[in-house]
Each structure stands twice: as C-alpha cells, then as structure tokens.
Amino acid sequence: MTYLEYKGYSGTIEAQLESGNLFGKLAFIRDLVTYEAETITELQNEFETSVDQYLQDCKELNREPNKPFKGSFNVRTGSDLHRAAVMAMDDMSLNAFVCEAIKEKVNRINEH
C-alpha cells in the first residue's frame, strides 16, 4: 500500500468510485483524522493541512497527539520459538536479536 507522508504521520489514499473523489485518514493512530479531495495533489495538501490541524487541536486541548509508532511492541512467539531465539542470540540481548531479525526480513522484502 502507498501512503502519504508528512511530519512523521502516514495517511491512506482511497477512492470513492461513485463520486470520483479521493479520501483518506491518518494511519496507525487511535484518533480519527480524515481528509478528502478531487486530485492526488489536492489530497496531499488536504492531508498535510489535516496533520497540522490535528497537531494544533492537540496543543489547544493540552493533550499529547497520538504517535504513529512508539518503537516498542509485544511479540508472542510461543515457548519453543522463544527458547530457540534465546539459545541463538549469542552475546546479544533478546531485544537486539529480535530487532536484527526484523531488519533482515524488512531488507529482504525491500530488495524485491
């Protein structure tokens, strides 16, 4: 999937076939922020305006804006894979081992 990108936020690109309009929402956050337009260029502008407005609204409400990615997540592997990872990680921490495995997989996918 292709996303719009601005100030660390990602936005979806979707089409309303009946009207011919484009629309989207900020992805990977809990708050609902939407935008719409008739062209891709207009959609990018509306997306950026929506991000700026969202950040301004959060500031005025004295609340922290949602961040798309915190940089941490829980992984449930099952006990056998957990044990195998710990046995294979040599002098690394489990966190470093998992990060390296994710990097390797992402790099392989991006090579294609």
- Sign of the alpha-carbon dihedral angle for 54, 37, 10, 8: negative
Looking at the fold, whether 49 and 85 belong to one and the same domain comes out as no
d(CA 43, CA 41): 5
Looking at the fold, whether 8 and 56 belong to one and the same domain comes out as yes
Within a domain: 73: no
Q: Is residue 54 a contact partner of residue 31, using CB atoms and an 8 Å limit?
A: yes
Number of domains in the chain: 2
- Domain around 11: 4-60
Helix (H, G, I), strand (E, B) or coil at 109: helix
Looking at the fold, whether 47 and 83 belong to one and the same domain comes out as no
Within a domain: 74: no
Helix (H, G, I), strand (E, B) or coil at 54: helix
Please write the tens of the pLDDT for every residue from 7-41: 999 999 999 999 999 999 999 999 999 999 999 99
Looking at the fold, whether 56 and 23 belong to one and the same domain comes out as yes
Looking at the fold, whether 99 and 53 belong to one and the same domain comes out as no
d(CA 10, CA 35): 12
Within a domain: 52: yes
Please write the tens of the pLDDT for every residue from 54-79: 999 999 999 999 999 888 888 899 99
Within a domain: 104: yes
- pLDDT for residue 89: 87
